[in-house]
Amino acid sequence: MKIVFLGAGSVEFTQGLLADLVAFPDLGEFEVALHDIHPERLDTAEAAARVIAAGRPVKISAHLDLRRALEGADFAINMIQVGMIDATRVDFEVPARYGLRQTIADTIGVGGIFRALRTFPALDRIGRAMAEVCPDAWLLNYTNPMAMNVWYLAAATPVRNVVGLCHSIYWTAHDLAELVGVPLEEVSYLAAGVNHQSWMLRFESGGQDLYPRLEEAIERDPGLLRRVRVDMYRRLGYYPTETSEHSAEYVPWYLHDESEIERLRIPVGAYIGISEENVRQYEATRDALRAGRPITVEGTMEYAPQIIHSVTTGTSRVVYGNVQNRGLVANLPDGCVVEVPCVADALGVRPMAVGDLPAQCAALNRAYVNVNELTVRAVTEGRPEHVRHAMMADPNTAATLTVERIDELCGALLEAHGELMPESLRSRS
């Protein structure tokens, strides 16, 4: 079995995933091929991987060449970040000059749109290479914006088997179980929607609804009402599955208003600090490995290792995946990318239909899907004007800026990102 890590220079993520994989004793011997376009980061990833795999039947190889890395692969885990921290700063700093606030900027919104646009050319290269050298492999995508990237992979590349993976639903269930005082292993839950904006449709223990206990917990701690996702839950009736920092920028209600930012303690621009800390952690790991000092690695039990284990050993388990909507969520558009429970076993990853979402939840999801569709179409149809249309459809952007300012911001970002943009978008129309 061969597993390829694409964007392996994301060293912390690489370490956690590999630690998860080597924790499965029944996987036996396997190969991990590391790929990155940054030589120093690739060297660091390889050094870390050899430490983690020491004494285990794992073959490690490192490749600057994408095709060589993918040859004969059974699984490819995608975690690339095109443009790295410099592009992230552009996504925040340019919109901020126009008065547009963002928190994480990696899913929808202006930041999500432009992160997708600079990622799509890399997905083209990955898709073509996989079709040529490992056509039956599973592509397990972690790169954000999750829904746009999976949609683009399905619409524009020859990849056969792709599923997007995110840990937000699991950690929401984990945190809610802790909040209501029930062990997670005694909790059952069902969630569905779109990535970073799914909804906890059922939250139960022993057949009993745990939502009343959540209400009691909120009553005991009014400070919880100063969190965006709790505010959304109280108004919509279903708990959103992504953090308040994320959730704030997917809706039109909060970030344009100073009093709401203060009331809900929204950390505007938070991802810049997170990204800078990620760089510091990478540098600390690099320096420790160069000096021969030990590094601390903890498993994460992310979905990708679980899927690899299930497909390889036939162990059946349920994970949450981002896949094209083919009747899975009945009141969201066909063909969009939805987040639903999936069965992983020897047959692969098979999504489960969940029926209709609550109408108010589906309404918010459809606004999110509109941004996704226009962004994907901008590239697949070679229509630069759809970038502007996606920004106009985005809830937070539309609530903050006039259409003229949106148009100006679109041009400024296309220019600022320059050659990172798909070629068809470089001449703005």
Residues belonging to the active site:
167
Nearest-Å Rg of the Cα atoms of the chain is: 21
Nearest to 229 by CA among 204, 213, 208, 251: 251
- How far from chain centre, in Å, is Cα 60? 26
Measured CA to CA in angstroms, residue 265 lies from 75, 79, 97, 245, 305 at distances of 41, 30, 22, 9, 35
Binding residues for Mn(2+): 166, 196
Cis amide leading into 145 (omega within 30)? yes
Class of residue 405 by CB neighbours under 10 A (exposed 0-12, middle 13-18, buried 19+): middle
The answer to whether the beta carbons of residues 406 and 391 sit under 8 Å apart is yes
Query: Could you give the CA distance from residue 372 to residue 200 in angstroms, rounded to a whole number?
Result: 22
| Token pair listed for 159 | 């990849």
| Token pair listed for 192 | 């569905």
Binding residues: 144, 166, 196, 263
Length of the chain: 429
Binding residues for substrate: 144, 263
Class of residue 297 by CB neighbours under 10 A (exposed 0-12, middle 13-18, buried 19+): middle
The answer to whether the beta carbons of residues 60 and 50 sit under 8 Å apart is yes
The answer to whether the beta carbons of residues 39 and 64 sit under 8 Å apart is yes
| Token pair listed for 154 | 């399905």
Residue 320 Rama label (left phi>0; alpha psi -120 to 50; beta): beta
Class of residue 305 by CB neighbours under 10 A (exposed 0-12, middle 13-18, buried 19+): buried
